[in-house]
Structure 1
Amino acid sequence: MTDLKWKLLHSEYIHKGPWATLRTDRCEMPDGRIMPDYYVLEYPNWVNGVAITEDGKILMVRQYRHAAGIVSLEIPGGVIDGDEAPIDAMRRELLEETGYLFEDIELTATIYPNPATATNQTFCYLAKGGKKVQAQDLDEHEEIIVEQYTIAEIKQLLADNKIPQALHCTALFYGLSKLGVL
């Protein structure tokens, strides 16, 4: 099999921020060609989850996404804090964004949002049996509306291209597949 991996020769940071860091890499390709400026975004890892309540409804969140300029229908999720375990981050995000507590949570997939330009992974979960235990506990700049849908409604929203976040569509595919409803 042909080795396709590039050799890293040099990295230089252009910007370091809490949510995104940009660096430029100088790399040597397997055939010896040099890639002088390959831009790489370093993001923290993320979690998202298909969250099903104890009465069988899927929790969705609606929020504004400034970069795209859209109000987006999504599944709950967010950034993994520091050395937090992904499953703990998922449990925390579910509780913060929806007020629902989930004990039955399983990993369905680990994906790369954009491996061509970004370093991070997203851990996708299926959470079942959620119980409302508190009000939302949102971050300072979060405004999230929680909505509930049946599995049939989610399948129709996907078919109608009404869930625009690609990572969330992927997690929904894995979650619905795990449930055996695709």
Structure 2
Amino acid sequence: MSNLNWEKLSSKYLVKEQWATLRVDTCRMPDGKIVDDYYVLEYPDWVNAVAFTEDGEVLLIRQYRHGAEKVFTEIPGGCIDPGETPEEAVVRELLEETGYAFDTLEPICTVYANPSTSSNRTHSFILTGGKKVQEQDLDGKEEIEVFTVSVAELKELVLQNKIEQALHISSIFFALAKLGKL
């Protein structure tokens, strides 16, 4: 196989904020061509959870997403904080967003949202044995409704395009495949 990696010659940050960073790179392709002004969005890595209650129901959430300006049905998840492992982040996010704690967690996949222009990864997990142990602990910009569905209802939501977040669909696919429930 040939080397297809680009060499980064320079990088300049245009925006550097907590939730998003935009940089512009100049790179050299393997054939020597120079690529000017290649824009890259840097985000923290994310976690997603296909989380099952102790009764075998799947936890879902509904919340407003301002980028798309609409309410989405999703699986729980969020950003990995500095110094956190993906496992620690998914446990924290579930507790904050849903109030549930889980007996087990298992990694199922790591995917990239858009590796052409974004640097982050999404780590997905299956969690089982969920029990509500506290009320939600949401930040000031979150309003989240929590509800449960059966595996059959989850599949129907996906097939009806009622879960529209691509990274959540991939997490659900890998979880159902792992559990033999496709």
Q: TM-score, normalised by structure 2?
A: 0.99
Quick check: 1:102 aligned with 2:102? yes
Q: Which amino acid aligns with 2:58?
A: I
Aligned to 2:155: 155
Aligned to 1:40: 40
Q: Provide the C-alpha distance between the structure 1 equivalents of 2:103 and 2:90, rounded to a whole number of angstroms.
A: 11
Aligned to 2:130: 130
Q: Which amino acid aligns with 2:73?
A: L
User: For this pair of structures, how many residues does the alignment match?
Assistant: 182
Q: How does 1:32-111 map to 2 (within 5 A)?
A: 32-111=32-111
Q: CA deviation at 1:102?
A: 0.8
Q: CA deviation at 1:90?
A: 0.3
For residue 2 of structure 2, give the secondary structure of its aligned residue in structure 1: coil
Structure 2, gaps ≥5 residues long: none
Q: How does 1:16-27 map to 2 (within 5 A)?
A: 16-27=16-27
Q: Provide the C-alpha distance between the structure 2 equivalents of 1:37 and 1:3, rounded to a whole number of angstroms.
A: 22
Where do 4+ consecutive residues of structure 1 move more than 4 Å? none
Q: Provide the C-alpha distance between the structure 1 equivalents of 2:51 and 2:34, rounded to a whole number of angstroms.
A: 46
CA RMSD of aligned residues (A): 0.6
For residue 173 of structure 1, give the secondary structure of its aligned residue in structure 2: helix
For residue 172 of structure 2, give the secondary structure of its aligned residue in structure 1: helix
For residue 174 of structure 1, give the secondary structure of its aligned residue in structure 2: helix
Alpha-carbon displacement from aligned partner over 1:58-114 (angstroms, at most 9, x marks no partner) = 000000001101100000000111010110100011111111101200000011111
